[in-house]
Amino acid sequence: MSNLIRWEPMREMVTLREAMDRLFDDAFTHPLGLKDGWRGSGIPAIDMYQTDNEVVVKAAVPGVKADEVQISVTGDMLTIKGETSQKQETDEKSYHIREQRWGSFERSVVLPTNVVSDKAKAEFENGILTITLPKAEEVKPKMITVKAK
């Protein structure tokens, strides 16, 4: 015996309307995805790739100094935290556009494989943070030679 569920077309219409409202709200009140002081939940923007021996993460953190960034690896989760402070200006200005953001940020990503976090390296150059995490030995590809008989 199956349960019948009554179809209510107005429920779908309300859901569609809510989705459209969110779309327009985000597009016009938060241009270019700028929310909460930084670019939405994707802050900082990152690229992650892996080679045979390591996982490399590059994070764009413009305006941040190397000593303002904290990096941690817990299990398979990499977390990048930091904070920028706004330079205090004494004269009152009447801004026409103000998109530079200040404050704290945090980004966590799941690593694609096991890494050796205590051998990780981090470099900072021109606003790009590069984190190199060596892969754990058990996940590195092993070459097996085939012997002919």
Q: Which of 9-13, 16-20, 91-95 has the least mean pLDDT? A: 9-13
DSSP 52-85: SSEEEEEEE-TT--GGGEEEEEETTEEEEEEEE-
Specify whether the CB–CB gap between 57 and 128 falls below 8 A.
Answer: no
Q: What is the pLDDT of residue 68?
A: 87
Specify whether the CB–CB gap between 143 and 136 falls below 8 A.
Answer: no
Residue spans per domain, the chain: 10-36, 42-86+102-138
Question: Is the model's pLDDT at 133 over the cut of 90?
Answer: yes
Mean of pLDDT values over 38-57: 79
The domain made up of 42-86+102-138 is a member of CATH 2.60.40.790: yes
Question: Is the model's pLDDT at 56 over the cut of 90?
Answer: yes
Q: How many CA atoms lie within 13 A of 134 on its CB side?
A: 9
- The pLDDT confidence band at residue 40, using thresholds 50, 70 and 90, is very low
Average per-residue pLDDT for the chain: 79
CA–CA separation, 77 and 59 (whole Å): 15
pLDDT above 70 covers what percent of the chain? 76
CA–CA separation, 99 and 31 (whole Å): 9
- The pLDDT confidence band at residue 13, using thresholds 50, 70 and 90, is low
Specify whether the CB–CB gap between 133 and 55 falls below 8 A.
Answer: yes
Mean of pLDDT values over 122-140: 90
- The pLDDT confidence band at residue 66, using thresholds 50, 70 and 90, is confident
Question: Is the model's pLDDT at 107 over the cut of 70?
Answer: yes
Q: What is the pLDDT of residue 20?
A: 77
